[in-house]
Amino acid sequence: MNDFIRLIKDRRSVREYTDRPIEKRILEEIVDAGRLAPSARNIQPWKFLMVTEKGKLSEIAKQVEWGHFIKDSTACVVICGEKGVKRRVEDCCLAAENMILAAKSLGVGSCYVAALQKDVEGVRNLLNVPENLEIVCFLSLGYFEKNPEPHDKKELEDVIHWESF
Ligand SMILES: Cc1cc2nc3c(=O)[nH]c(=O)nc-3n(C[C@H](O)[C@H](O)[C@H](O)COP(=O)(O)O)c2cc1C
């Protein structure tokens, strides 16, 4: 098994973080990995808003359903897609996964927090997210002490099919 496959197998959503701030250079590296994700017709209809101020993180945590742990993170990427671009959601999700794996490789834990079909208008106002952008998801980030226990995953033989169902 190579190091990258090992990293994928070891990754968990991390919701408990230490107080150690993430260096700007590391945050930029994470977003850079998102920027390089595949994108339908290479439109790259995304903007990544990095939030590190404690007060803002606490406010986002209050506003976003199932995102209370964002208050304990040291950074949160607000991943936004350009409204009107057909494949914006897929594009943003692929960027998110790139960032999740890049973060892991840099020792930073992360958790994807959904925004679609949730009321995130309060976050839009808090962060001045322009009306032409849709908040697709949040990515909480932080250094962590222990990798969470593995979640149950379906076995390969239960999900893989060859040639035909
Ligand atoms: C589309 C999507 C939406 C998610 N939304 C949330 C969320 O709102 N809050 C949360 O705590 N975790 C959220 N997660 C993280 C999942 O709960 C997590 O990936 C799942 O439990 C599997 O655990 P693992 O990531 O450690 O393998 C989301 C993940 C995905 C892919």
- Cα(first)–Cα(last) distance of the chain, in Å? 29
Whether the CB of 111 sits within 6 Å of ligand 1: yes
Torsion, CA 121, CA 122, CA 124, CA 126, rounded to 10? 170
- Nearest CA owner, ligand 1 atom 26: 12
Angle (nearest 5°) at CA 147 between 110 and 34: 25
Rounded to two decimals, the pTM is 0.98
- Nearest CA owner, ligand 1 atom 29: 112
Whether the CB of 154 sits within 6 Å of ligand 1: no
Say if residues 12 and 98 touch (Cβ distance below 8 Å): no
Say if residues 122 and 64 touch (Cβ distance below 8 Å): no
For residue 27, give both structure tokens.
């945050």
Angle (nearest 5°) at CA 32 between 31 and 37: 95
Q: Which domains does the chain have, with CATH numbers?
A: 23-144 (3.40.109.10)
Q: What is the pLDDT of residues 1-53, one digit of tens each?
A: 899 999 999 999 999 999 999 999 999 999 999 999 999 999 999 999 999 99
**Could you identify the atom of ligand 1 that is nearest to the CA of residue 12?**
26
Q: How high is the pLDDT of residue 151?
A: 79
d(CA 19, CA 12): 19
Residue with structure tokens 């994108």? 39
Whether the CB of 114 sits within 6 Å of ligand 1: yes
Cross-strand bridge partners of residue 142: 109
Cross-strand bridge partners of residue 140: 76, 111
